Amino acid sequence: MSGRTFAEKALARAAGVPGARAGDVLDVMPDLVFSHDNSAAIRRIFEQIGAPGIAHPDRVAITLDHASPAPTTRHAQNHAEIRDWVQAQGIAHFFDVGRGICHQVIGEEALILPGETILGADSHTTHHGWLGAFGAGVGRTEMAALWATGELWLRVPEAIRITLNGAPSPGVTAKDISLRILGDLGADGGLYRSVEFAGDTLAALPLDERAVIPNMMAEMGAKNAYLPPDQIVFDYLEPRRTRHYTPLYPDPDAAYAAEYHLDVSHLEPQVALPHRPDNAVPLSEVAGQPIQQAFLGTCTNGRLSDLRAAAEVLRGRRVRCRFLVIPASAAVMLAAVREGIIDTLLDAGAVIGTPGCGPCMGNHMGIPAPGEVTISCANRNFRGRMGTPDAPVYLASAYVVAASALNGQISDPREVLA
């Protein structure tokens, strides 16, 4: 009998059963569930169910981030309904306009811990694997059912193991690694699966960059993604956590449906061409492509290390196209102000926006005109994603986005940093 994968261990724990195997269907009780601006619609579904109240309001988080501050009266009405609902139900964790993006804020507040299970009404809930949690996205009706009952059925996924070795060269980041994995394995390369990472690259990755990898695995169809938590994670959590936790690790002889190895030491920066995140090519193949807008931000790459990377590229220089900078959270923004990063970016011609999702999914704050080309730090570049069908979006790291803003065309940051 083979050992167990992370997913098998985590979901057995969340279901309160002694052991589970891939293919088992379990009733899982997550440690935290969360939603965002979609909470008003979830409330209406909850009311259709007719449950007396939220079963575990202490395990519920809501963040207003997707259209924030509200761009229209209808969005504002949604937000108002959510605030009323939070009050009425005694929801424990509420983060209003400007606090930041749900995934980032949950990490900063240490609301989910290694070995725990988190379900979110957001497809990028795979993000929470950065600290060794089981994170999976669900739909609105499922979130309403979770509010009502505190549990949801999940099928224990088969797992694949991705082993990363080597240290990336300067100017190459977790984003480039993620885009290369997507390019190699494809948009359905992790469909229904737990994508479990291993290898010596991870320990050398700064904490700030780690979340990029599980976040981007949503673009491969993954159910969840997992990085093994280490002392750096435990040290980060120690002053923030409010409960005990037990980290979980896959057994060395766990059964994986597939294995993939990547040596990152010779990887060059990667860019995903329109209109798919797995359309990844080495930067050199697309350098020189003119752009009209560059966007630094999102749950993928709106953290302090990303803003710092952009400042490193742009210090003492001026951008040649619109450069939108939207920190992933208020805490990120404050740290960037204190470090002088925001000064540097403003001097370079950046436009700074309210922490939140910004124009990532085309709600507001930077929708491109037809025909305009954007390079973005986000995780998705589907046709129309940023609000305009005929406005191509390229995906890349903060370094590449900043270097491209500098030149008004897709550019190699290593030429600027050299």
Partner 1 sequence: MKLEGKVWKYGDNIDTDVIIPARYLNTTDPVTLAAHCMEDADQSFAQNVQPGDIMVGGRNFGCGSSREHAPISIKGAGVSCIVAESFARIFFRNAVNIGLPILESPDAARDAQPGDTLSVDLVGGTITNQRTGQTYQASPYPPVVLGIINAGGLVPYTREILGIEITG
Q: Which is nearer to partner 1, 142 or 208 (CB)?
A: 142
| 49 is an interface residue for partner 1 by CB under 8 A | yes
Q: Select the residue interacting with partner 1 from 11, 12, 60, 121 (CB under 8 A).
A: 121
Q: Give the up-direction half-sphere exposure of residue 390: CA atoms within 13 A in the CB hemisphere.
A: 2
CA–CA distances in Å: residue 325 to residues 247, 264, 294, 401: 35, 28, 9, 10
CA–CA distances in Å: residue 20 to residues 29, 157, 224, 364, 399: 15, 10, 16, 44, 42
Helix 73-89 / helix 39-49 crossing angle, nearest 10 deg:
50
Q: Which is nearer to partner 1, 221 or 349 (CB)?
A: 221
The least CB distance from residue 234 to partner 1, in Å, is 30
Q: Select the residue interacting with partner 1 from 45, 92, 237, 334 (CB under 8 A).
A: 45
Q: Which stretch binds partner 1 (CB under 8 A): 2-10, 86-94, 316-324, 358-366?
A: 358-366
The least CB distance from residue 58 to partner 1, in Å, is 19
Q: Which amino acid, one-letter code, is at 159?
A: A
- The phi, psi pair for 163, rounded to 5°, reads -105, 120
Q: Select the residue interacting with partner 1 from 385, 399, 412, 413 (CB under 8 A).
A: 385
| Cα(24)–Cα(153) distance, integer angstroms | 10
The answer to whether the Cα torsion of 57, 79, 33, 233 is positive or negative is: negative
Q: Which is nearer to partner 1, 293 or 407 (CB)?
A: 293
The least CB distance from residue 81 to partner 1, in Å, is 13
| 187 is an interface residue for partner 1 by CB under 8 A | yes
Read off the DSSP letter of residue 390: T
Beta bridge partners of 154: 26
The least CB distance from residue 171 to partner 1, in Å, is 29
The least CB distance from residue 247 to partner 1, in Å, is 25
Q: Which is nearer to partner 1, 153 or 204 (CB)?
A: 153
Contact 324, 358 (CB under 8 A): yes
> Which residues ranging from 139 to 158 are in contact with partner 1 (CB under 8 A)?
139-142, 144-145, 148-149, 153, 155
The tokens of 279 are what? 């359309």
> Which residues ranging from 200 to 239 are in contact with partner 1 (CB under 8 A)?
219, 221, 223
The least CB distance from residue 53 to partner 1, in Å, is 11
Helix 140-149 / helix 39-49 crossing angle, nearest 10 deg:
60
What are the helix (H) ranges across 50-72?
none
With vertex at residue 184, the alpha carbon angle to CA 191 and CA 287, rounded to the nearest 5 degrees, is 125
Q: Which stretch binds partner 1 (CB under 8 A): 107-115, 183-191, 197-205, 305-313?
A: 183-191
Q: Select the residue interacting with partner 1 from 16, 170, 206, 384 (CB under 8 A).
A: 384
DSSP letters of 343-364?
Answer: HHHHHTT-EE--SS-TTTTSSS
| 191 is an interface residue for partner 1 by CB under 8 A | yes
The least CB distance from residue 361 to partner 1, in Å, is 4
Q: Which stretch binds partner 1 (CB under 8 A): 57-65, 196-204, 327-335, 379-387?
A: 379-387
- The phi, psi pair for 404, rounded to 5°, reads -70, -40
| Cα(300)–Cα(395) distance, integer angstroms | 11
Read off the DSSP letter of residue 339: T
> Which residues ranging from 63 to 102 are in contact with partner 1 (CB under 8 A)?
72, 74-75, 78
| Cα(31)–Cα(14) distance, integer angstroms | 8
Torsion from C-alpha of 80, 85, 90, 96, nearest 10 degrees: -30
| 138 is an interface residue for partner 1 by CB under 8 A | yes
| 363 is an interface residue for partner 1 by CB under 8 A | yes
| 51 is an interface residue for partner 1 by CB under 8 A | yes
Interface residues toward partner 1, by CB under 8 A: 25, 41, 44-45, 48-51, 72, 74-75, 78, 121-123, 137-142, 144-145, 148-149, 153, 155, 187-188, 191-192, 219, 221, 223, 276, 361-363, 380, 382-385, 387, 389
